[in-house]
Amino acid sequence: MAEGDEEKSLLYKLKPLTDRLPAVTKPEGHVHFRTKMMWLILVLVIYFAMTNIMIYGLDTEGGVDLFAQYRAILAGAQFSLMHLGIGPIVTGSIIMQLFTGAKIIKLNLKKEEDKAVYQGTQKLMVIIMIVVEAAPQVYGFMEPSTKFIGNMEGFLTGHGQGLARSLIVIQLVVGSYLVFLMDEVVSKWGIGSGISLFIAAGVAQQIFTGSINWHPADNTLPIDVQNNPPAGTIPKTIYLFHHMSAPQLSGGGYERIFLAQPNPMVALIGTVVIFLFVAYTESSRIELPLAHGTARGARGRYPIKLIYASNIPVILMAALLANVSMFSMLFWSHPSFQNVPILGHNWMLGYYAEGETRAGGGLAYYLSSVNGVSDWLLPMLSSRYLGATGLDKDRLQIGIHVLAYVGIMIFGSVLFAKFWIETTNMGPEAVAKQIESSGMQIPGFRRDPRVLKRVLERYIPVVTVISGATVGGLAAGADLIGTVGNCSGTGVLLAVGIMIQLYDAIGREQMMEMHPVLRGFFGGE
């Protein structure tokens, strides 16, 4: 008994607390396909509503968005209830996966009891990360409006500013936890993942507006051929072709259409190329032949996709890099963090120009995302574009930045792919049991989970590494090409993959609805 107690994780002591956290009840039995679609659509509508509800009492003019570079990937909206987006959820997941992979957390996720403790602890970690990400931003870079502070002075004289900031933090915490609950609703009552759904919705919105937005780039000024054309790629191209003469087009007009911000034509072309390439990659797979153990002639195939770990590793990497960017900026410019030993105001960690949210140098610069060809290729080819970047960097430093970013995306995605497979019952042993429980077997092999496991071990670990490297390389490559709507290449990669996976998931749900016997094979109830 004592030995069993030693093996039991210390996280069991948190169970009384985690069991009392607000949660979405798991459905009892099968949920009808139409019900799942209803919840999916409802959650999506609520998400878009939250992106348009601005934080009450915030001075949006004086605030700084620390997640500006990663806004599309984190599925958030600047200064709204969705300001933090899925960042805290994904960061909490990263911490739990790293602790589990390093055996710091001693839980056997194959046991239902340990799995429940893991999920409850992860929920607590998400709440902690919401506060960790919300408080520093509000107390350092998001200013309450003067009127809001004055109103709070009426409640607590002398502490109006502190009370105003506290209420803004509370709004962010409530909004972020609602996102977490909506993710649970989609996972338990809907189809797919809520996190993935929010990313795809946000990216699709940005691509749509970036492509056809006919308003000028600067809404405070009238539309103008030279300095203020339409912001959307298609209206901008049509407008410039219509209002510029042939000499003007030859003297720089084509360059403005194809290369100049905002939303150059090369970004639209890049978006289409990424879309088609990801669609092709998602369809690549290895198919293991299966035969039913008792029903003669009943055959099938078990597909092991090239993107086996889906797009989750890239989401985790994007969230990790977003947190590196946020904390490096806090340590450089926030008064409360500047005095921290070693990290505080250390240029090697990252330094920032006044009012900038992108690092000008240091580790944070080399780990920051690359935003299209105008950010790296054109500056390396032309001195004119090199000066236009606004950064005091030579071609060698830009090249190192590109290599460092691509390298960390590939390596990190491989690492997270392996962790993800281990924690989501997608490993060889879990898949072998799933195939065996459905009554299927691989022709020529005994119907034994151990035999199936050995066969699957030839494929799944290798495909997992290839999957992580592929999605990491695709994400980094997509960022190098650039996209419309400032949604980043990684955002487009994720959105395309998510939509394809959602389409497949809807197809499986319809198949299970028509053939209930297939539910067990697909993991349904």
pLDDT in tens, 212-236: 999 988 888 888 888 889 999 999 9
Contact 320, 424 (CB under 8 A): no
Give me the pLDDT at residue 4, please. Answer: 44
Is 254 inside a domain boundary?
Answer: no
Checking if the pLDDT of 517 tops 70, the result is: no
Query: CA of 419: how far to CAs of 96, 178, 263, 318, 390, in Å?
Result: 10, 26, 37, 16, 39
Distance, in Å, from the CA atom of 35 to the CA atom of 110, rounded to the nearest integer, reads 29
What number of helices (H) and strands (E) belong to the chain? 22, 3
Which residues have C-beta within 8 Å of that of residue 356, sequence separation ≥ 6? Answer: none
Is 443 inside a domain boundary?
Answer: yes
Find tokens 């005095």 and name the residue.
Answer: 339
Max distance between CA atoms of the chain, in angstroms, equals 87
Give me the pLDDT at residue 3, please. Answer: 42
Distance, in Å, from the CA atom of 515 to the CA atom of 129, rounded to the nearest integer, reads 42
Alpha helix stretches (DSSP H) within 1-159: 2-7, 15-18, 33-51, 87-101, 112-140, 146-153
- Class of residue 348 by CB neighbours under 10 A (exposed 0-12, middle 13-18, buried 19+): exposed
* Mean residue pLDDT across the chain: 84
Find tokens 């901008």 and name the residue.
Answer: 236
Q: What average pLDDT score do residues 138-161 get?
A: 84
Q: Is 485 left (phi over 0), alpha (psi -120 to 50) or beta?
A: left
Total tally of structural domains belonging to the chain: 1
Is 59 inside a domain boundary?
Answer: yes
Is 136 inside a domain boundary?
Answer: yes
Report residue 118: phi and psi, to 5°. -60, -45
Q: Which tens digit of pLDDT belongs to each residue from 414-428?
A: 999 998 887 777 888
Q: Which tens digit of pLDDT belongs to each residue from 56-84?
A: 999 877 677 777 777 877 888 888 999 99
Q: Which tens digit of pLDDT belongs to each residue from 459-494?
A: 899 999 999 999 999 889 888 888 888 788 788 888
Range of 8-12, 140-144, 145-149, 386-390 with top mean pLDDT: 145-149
Query: CA of 57: how far to CAs of 27, 400, 441, in Å?
Result: 39, 42, 62
Is 492 inside a domain boundary?
Answer: yes
Distance, in Å, from the CA atom of 136 to the CA atom of 4, rounded to the nearest integer, reads 42
Checking if the pLDDT of 133 tops 50, the result is: yes
Range of 192-206, 250-264, 485-499 with top mean pLDDT: 192-206
Is 230 inside a domain boundary?
Answer: no
- Domain of residue 171, residue span: 32-213+264-522
- Class of residue 74 by CB neighbours under 10 A (exposed 0-12, middle 13-18, buried 19+): buried
Contact 171, 129 (CB under 8 A): no
DSSP 55: P
Is 10 inside a domain boundary?
Answer: no
CATH number at residue 141: 1.10.3370.10
Is 24 inside a domain boundary?
Answer: no
